[in-house]
Structure 1
Amino acid sequence: MASQCQLDSLLQKCTSLIRMKQLQAHLITTGKFQFHPSRTKFLELCSISPAGDLSFAAQIFRLIETPSTNDWNAVLRGLAQSPEPTQALSWYRAMSRGPQKVDALTCSFALKGCARALAFSEATQIHSQLLRFGFEVDILLLTTLLDVYAKTGDLDAAQKVFDNMCKRDIASWNAMISGLAQGSRPNEAIALFNRMKDEGWRPNEVTVLGALSACSQLGALKHGQIIHAYVVDEKLDTNVIVCNAVIDMYAKCGFVDKAYSVFVSMSCNKSLITWNTMIMAFAMNGDGCKALEFLDQMALDGVNPDAVSYLAALCACNHAGLVEDGVRLFDTMKECGVKPNVKHYGKACDIINSMPMVPDVVLWQSLLGACKTHGNVEMAEKASRKLVEMGSNSCGDFVLLSNVYAAQQRWHDVGRVREAMKIRDVRKVPGFSYTTEIDGKIHKFVNGDQSHPNSKEIYAKLDEIKFRARAYGYAAETNLVLHDIGEEDKENVLNYHSEKLAVAYGLISTSDGTPIQVIKNLRICVDCHAVIKIISNIYNREIIVRDRARFHRFKEGVCSCRDYW
């Protein structure tokens, strides 16, 4: 019989399932399989190696008369990494019911299965068990646990696990920062990143990816620039994924020139995602011509565009009103072998009717939005019916249809839609805006907000703006207020939109000439767009507004979108 060293060597040479079966047959025929110390390694190899097979690993496992904890763990690890991670939870339950002793690795592998399957309830049960077993001092296990809570949406539970850890490693910090960033708590993610550095930790690639994601969500340019400087100093910019995140951060902060500068200066090889990120950056900032130029350039550089590349370029054409270029692109992508998916068909109803696949919810919602823009009631009703048939219950569907009716002053139909929303318990998403990084903080405003400490000064500034704007020929677009109220009330509603409040706060809180950055969760309205153009001229300010679709860069009375959005 081969020695332990010889067997380990044989295990390393098992690069195919056939070789594994040959080795397993050898172990069985020699009578040493039940007792050999390399049995667990053999099971692990069958479970997790690319050449392995989980069903074969399970078959081998069943041949073991008295499997050890390590034998169970070997298969559990493979199941947790498999396309069906829920099987890992079944395996864990079966093990827990038997005589085998569960250890920290068992819990860790089971929790990894929970994370991939988004199994919150099972994770809480394992949490209580690991406390009972006395595993709460295991850093790796607790890090896996907080990662599960973060990925399943319970950030408070994740934070509690993090705060109660008697000792942390870099993976613990990374899991918490990424969890906060991905869980719509980007302010806390940035604060934790800063705290991590203050406590003497050196962020790595994973850390900065989470922090950069948070900056992208908030449009937090100053924080993003600090992180970028750290990336350069620590030579983390040799990682293409980190460079892609930096490009995306600058693009989503509205500084496409800085994003392009990073793109040009990259020392590592650019990936397909790098090119796609840059094309989308130009698209979001309304530079359709540059986006199309980049699409051509990437092909010349030997990078084949994919469906995402073309979708980004089509978005650029849409934002810039490049209809002919959009049609040409659509034909080109099919000629290049890129099969259009349902998002590429989001153009108009005649395209929808000719599509070779069934339109999805996103496409019908896009058409409903176009109906609102063009005031097409009949088509809006058709799109709305299709969305109901497909089971969509999004507040946006109802709000868009209600707005189409309201624009035509069909108040009875508006009331009917609102009643349907009540019956279905659909709540409208309130509009809000952020003014970013004033005094190191992010300031949030909702329509008609009076909760801000500087509310009096903000409203006084808005009155001043309204008075000065009239000298430039401004008249409130009261037809945009989709409520059955008087003209004066409509004008007041418009004057206190969240983006106007955010801009006014920026004006009173920053020195002359300082750019103002605003992020809005919904599409900027026509009246706010007109007023902010005037503000940029009156106060000689560059104002960058990121709404849910794109960037608007206002300067000297002109917007980068050329009034097309």
Structure 2
Amino acid sequence: MSSQYQLDSLLQKCTSLISMKQLQAHLITTGKFQFHPSRAKLLELCSISPAGDLSFAGQIFRRIQTPSTNDWNAVLRGLAQSPEPMQALSWYRAMSRSPQKVDALTCSFALKGCARALAFSEATQIHSQLLRFGFEADILLLTTLLDVYAKTGDLDAAHKVFDNMQKRDIASWNAMISGLAQGSQPNEAIALFNRMKEEGWRPNEVTVLGALSACSQLGALKHGQIIHAYVVDEKLDTNVIVCNAVIDMYAKCGFVDKAYSVFVSMTCKKSLVTWNTMIMALAMNGDGNQALELLDKMVVDGVVPDAVSYLGALCACNHAGLVEEGVKLFDTMKGCGVKLNVKHYGSVVDLLGRAGRIKEAFDIINSMPMLPDVVLWQSLLGASKIHGNVEVAEMASRKLVEMGSNNCGDFVLLSNVYAAQQRWCDVGRVREAMKIRDVRKVPGFSYTEIDCKIHKFVNGDQSHPCSKEIYAKLDEMKFRIKAYRYSAETDLVLHDIGEEDKENALNYHSEKLAVAYGLISTGDGTPIQVIKNLRICVDCHAVIKIVSIVYNREIIVRDRARFHRFKEGVCSCRDYW
């Protein structure tokens, strides 16, 4: 048996720090420590193995008279994966000053440290160095580089690296698609996924996860269904993480029945995340009772609910207006040892507040063992707006200012409270405060998917190629819904202007434009799906309910908080949102 084979065999048996120290002692006593290649393998084992110890790897390294590139790389790899990845960059700089040459692996490990530390400037320096070293043909290295740029938010730089690659592998495509999906460019992620297939590549589990994430963000059902069909054909649905992503995609497209169908038909073992994803899907769609039933079934099936499971169930109670059930669940959580966090308290505060039990909501905030966050006070402010409680609204607004919140929604909610009371001087005061603090209102926009193409609209938008037809349809809608005794909710407009101007301002909200486009571009009876970045307003909600009767259409609107499924003049939220 060769010496190398014996040492490799010993390395495989190193499953504890003690055995690693024994092997180091063996290498030293036999005189092989200074030249044997197994030394670098031992260093790597100490650096990245769960049983290893980075500090011990450092001790081994310091005993080497002339460390090789492999020795440096072994420690660098461990540092890049450690809880303090910036140390990898310090190690990389030290190696750059040593007699040993940096190789492509060195740069790759250093870039992985940059990705984990979100160290953009350091990554650009390594980028220039790897070009100088002549490593630009290394696919693995360039993939790591584009991944760093994507994770640090420079998608243009990531795309430039991707486009300039002489060769690509599946990991390159995956890194770019995931980067676009996670970097708020879901349209581009889907386009790249389609291009990848056109060029003959075969997407794997990682690819479809990125593409499904993009579909979830956009509510792009048609694209999502195509990807789901691919998942089934390629038998990728044996992977529970992929199944979870498919469930999430259907849920975020507003088709919770399809999500549930995937959930019940899974052939792989459901994980805790699977149950949580389905519970939250039901919550977002207002199916509160079914979400609570699923929580019970989860326990029967031997899966222990965690804090996320209970948060999903609380959200379900919140969205369905199940006040007593939500309060009971909250008390149960406190009694069974679930570690409550600020989100659990926030959900109950919102539940009570929106039900008009504002004093109870305020008492819960005061009883919290942790400091309330901005979201809690925003929930109380929102409840005060719904129920016209000026005093609590002003108090919550002061708290938000004290916490340094500069969210336009806080000011808009307070303005809404004053506007509902026709206190225009106070509305003007809030508006002036927004100017002083340079707070800008987030513009409302909506998406709709028609024939696998995403169309975006902003309030009052006239940039769409079919703008003339869209506005003609809006006028028609406005005329036809008046037969159902519709009158515009002009008290929602925060301007002391004439009623006609207020009505026009409401009529051109982005979700109405998207619905109008859906009506002119799809056949009779085809469901219309709209994704909105803000909460749907009361007037749009009232209009779309009537439109669903007048045009005999099912209209699904996903706003910032939940889904609204309009059918035959009724919304799935039962006018509680």
Q: Same fold (TM over 0.5)?
A: yes
Greater alpha carbon shift after TM alignment, 490-499 vs 20-29: 20-29
1:390-415: CA deviation from partner (whole Å, max 9, x where unpaired): 33332323332333333333333333
1:337-375: CA deviation from partner (whole Å, max 9, x where unpaired): 212111111257790001122112222222222222222
C-alpha contact 2:349 2:376 (8 A) present in aligned 1: no
1:564 and 2:576 are equivalent in the alignment: yes
SS of the aligned residue for 1:471 comes to helix
Q: Distance in 2 between matches of 1:92 and 1:371?
A: 55
Shift of 1:2: 8.2
SS of the aligned residue for 2:484 comes to coil
Q: Distance in 1 between matches of 2:59 and 2:2?
A: 23
Greater alpha carbon shift after TM alignment, 355-364 vs 164-173: 355-364
Shift of 1:388: 2.8
Q: Distance in 2 between matches of 1:261 and 1:542?
A: 20
SS of the aligned residue for 1:443 comes to strand
> What is the match of residue 215 of structure 1?
215
Q: Distance in 1 between matches of 2:396 and 2:412?
A: 13
Q: Distance in 1 between matches of 2:180 and 2:163?
A: 14
Shift of 1:30: 2.9
C-alpha contact 1:348 1:367 (8 A) present in aligned 2: no
Shift of 1:68: 1.1
For residues 464 and 45 of structure 1, do their structure 2 counterparts lie closer, same or farther at Cα, with a shift above 3 Å needed? same
SS of the aligned residue for 1:347 comes to helix
SS of the aligned residue for 1:61 comes to helix
C-alpha contact 1:80 1:88 (8 A) present in aligned 2: yes
1:240 and 2:252 are equivalent in the alignment: no
Q: Distance in 2 between matches of 1:77 and 1:349?
A: 46
Q: Distance in 2 between matches of 1:343 and 1:76?
A: 38
SS of the aligned residue for 1:280 comes to helix
Q: 2:493 aligns with which of 473, 478, 481?
A: 481
SS of the aligned residue for 1:14 comes to coil
Greater alpha carbon shift after TM alignment, 413-422 vs 354-363: 413-422
| Residue-pair matches, total | 564
Any residues of structure 2 matched to 1:144-183 within 5 Å, and which?
A: 144-183=144-183
> What is the match of residue 473 of structure 2?
461
Shift of 1:31: 2.8
Q: Distance in 2 between matches of 1:404 and 1:34?
A: 76
Greater alpha carbon shift after TM alignment, 374-383 vs 206-215: 374-383
Any residues of structure 2 matched to 1:260-299 within 5 Å, and which?
A: 260-299=260-299
Q: Distance in 2 between matches of 1:260 and 1:60?
A: 54
1:155-213: CA deviation from partner (whole Å, max 9, x where unpaired): 11111110110100000000001111111111111111111111111100000000111
1:492 and 2:504 are equivalent in the alignment: yes
C-alpha contact 1:407 1:479 (8 A) present in aligned 2: yes
Q: Distance in 2 between matches of 1:343 and 1:212?
A: 26
Shift of 1:420: 3.1
> What is the match of residue 394 of structure 1?
407
Q: Distance in 1 between matches of 2:390 and 2:82?
A: 49
Shift of 1:143: 0.4
Q: Distance in 2 between matches of 1:177 and 1:424?
A: 38
Shift of 1:230: 0.5
Q: Distance in 2 between matches of 1:512 and 1:147?
A: 45
For residues 348 and 70 of structure 1, do their structure 2 counterparts lie closer, same or farther at Cα, with a shift above 3 Å needed? closer
1:316 and 2:316 are equivalent in the alignment: yes
For residues 223 and 349 of structure 1, do their structure 2 counterparts lie closer, same or farther at Cα, with a shift above 3 Å needed? closer
Q: Distance in 2 between matches of 1:392 and 1:93?
A: 40
Greater alpha carbon shift after TM alignment, 218-227 vs 422-431: 422-431
List gaps (5 residues or longer) in structure 1: none
Greater alpha carbon shift after TM alignment, 110-119 vs 396-405: 396-405
Q: Distance in 2 between matches of 1:230 and 1:91?
A: 44
Q: Distance in 1 between matches of 2:163 and 2:178?
A: 16
1:105-149: CA deviation from partner (whole Å, max 9, x where unpaired): 000000000111111111111111111111110000000000011
Shift of 1:460: 1.1
Shift of 1:497: 0.7
SS of the aligned residue for 1:437 comes to strand
1:246-297: CA deviation from partner (whole Å, max 9, x where unpaired): 0011111111111111011100000111111111111111111111110111
Greater alpha carbon shift after TM alignment, 116-125 vs 89-98: 89-98
For residues 309 and 347 of structure 1, do their structure 2 counterparts lie closer, same or farther at Cα, with a shift above 3 Å needed? closer
1:8-29: CA deviation from partner (whole Å, max 9, x where unpaired): 1111111111111121122223
SS of the aligned residue for 1:458 comes to helix
Shift of 1:543: 0.4
Q: Distance in 1 between matches of 2:439 and 2:135?
A: 44
Q: 2:452 aligns with which of 440, 443, 467?
A: 440
C-alpha contact 1:276 1:308 (8 A) present in aligned 2: yes
TM-score, structure 2 normalization:
0.95
1:518-538: CA deviation from partner (whole Å, max 9, x where unpaired): 010000001100010000000
Q: Distance in 2 between matches of 1:348 and 1:253?
A: 26
For residues 99 and 319 of structure 1, do their structure 2 counterparts lie closer, same or farther at Cα, with a shift above 3 Å needed? same
For residues 349 and 311 of structure 1, do their structure 2 counterparts lie closer, same or farther at Cα, with a shift above 3 Å needed? closer
Greater alpha carbon shift after TM alignment, 443-452 vs 41-50: 443-452
Q: Distance in 2 between matches of 1:414 and 1:511?
A: 44
SS of the aligned residue for 1:135 comes to coil
Q: Distance in 1 between matches of 2:188 and 2:234?
A: 24
C-alpha contact 1:46 1:53 (8 A) present in aligned 2: yes
For residues 9 and 214 of structure 1, do their structure 2 counterparts lie closer, same or farther at Cα, with a shift above 3 Å needed? same
Q: Distance in 1 between matches of 2:195 and 2:97?
A: 43
SS of the aligned residue for 1:445 comes to strand
C-alpha contact 1:347 1:367 (8 A) present in aligned 2: no
Q: Distance in 2 between matches of 1:268 and 1:280?
A: 20
Q: Distance in 2 between matches of 1:60 and 1:362?
A: 50
For residues 66 and 414 of structure 1, do their structure 2 counterparts lie closer, same or farther at Cα, with a shift above 3 Å needed? farther
Shift of 1:75: 0.4
SS of the aligned residue for 1:429 comes to coil
C-alpha contact 2:545 2:566 (8 A) present in aligned 1: yes
1:464-516: CA deviation from partner (whole Å, max 9, x where unpaired): 11111111010111011111211111000011111111100100111111110
C-alpha contact 2:381 2:413 (8 A) present in aligned 1: yes
| Percent identity (aligned) | 90
C-alpha contact 1:433 1:445 (8 A) present in aligned 2: yes
Shift of 1:35: 1.5
SS of the aligned residue for 2:456 comes to strand
C-alpha contact 2:554 2:566 (8 A) present in aligned 1: yes
> What is the match of residue 425 of structure 2?
412
SS of the aligned residue for 2:347 comes to coil
C-alpha contact 2:349 2:379 (8 A) present in aligned 1: no
1:17-57: CA deviation from partner (whole Å, max 9, x where unpaired): 11111211222233321112211001000000000001111
Q: Distance in 2 between matches of 1:62 and 1:349?
A: 57
C-alpha contact 2:147 2:176 (8 A) present in aligned 1: yes
C-alpha contact 1:503 1:518 (8 A) present in aligned 2: yes
Shift of 1:438: 1.2
> What is the match of residue 366 of structure 1?
379
For residues 301 and 42 of structure 1, do their structure 2 counterparts lie closer, same or farther at Cα, with a shift above 3 Å needed? same
Greater alpha carbon shift after TM alignment, 286-295 vs 408-417: 408-417
SS of the aligned residue for 1:346 comes to helix
Greater alpha carbon shift after TM alignment, 95-104 vs 174-183: 95-104
C-alpha contact 2:416 2:492 (8 A) present in aligned 1: no
Q: Distance in 2 between matches of 1:545 and 1:253?
A: 9
C-alpha contact 1:431 1:521 (8 A) present in aligned 2: yes
C-alpha contact 1:190 1:214 (8 A) present in aligned 2: yes
SS of the aligned residue for 1:248 comes to helix
C-alpha contact 2:427 2:494 (8 A) present in aligned 1: no
1:54-80: CA deviation from partner (whole Å, max 9, x where unpaired): 111111111111111111110000000
C-alpha contact 2:327 2:348 (8 A) present in aligned 1: no
For residues 347 and 306 of structure 1, do their structure 2 counterparts lie closer, same or farther at Cα, with a shift above 3 Å needed? closer
SS of the aligned residue for 1:43 comes to helix
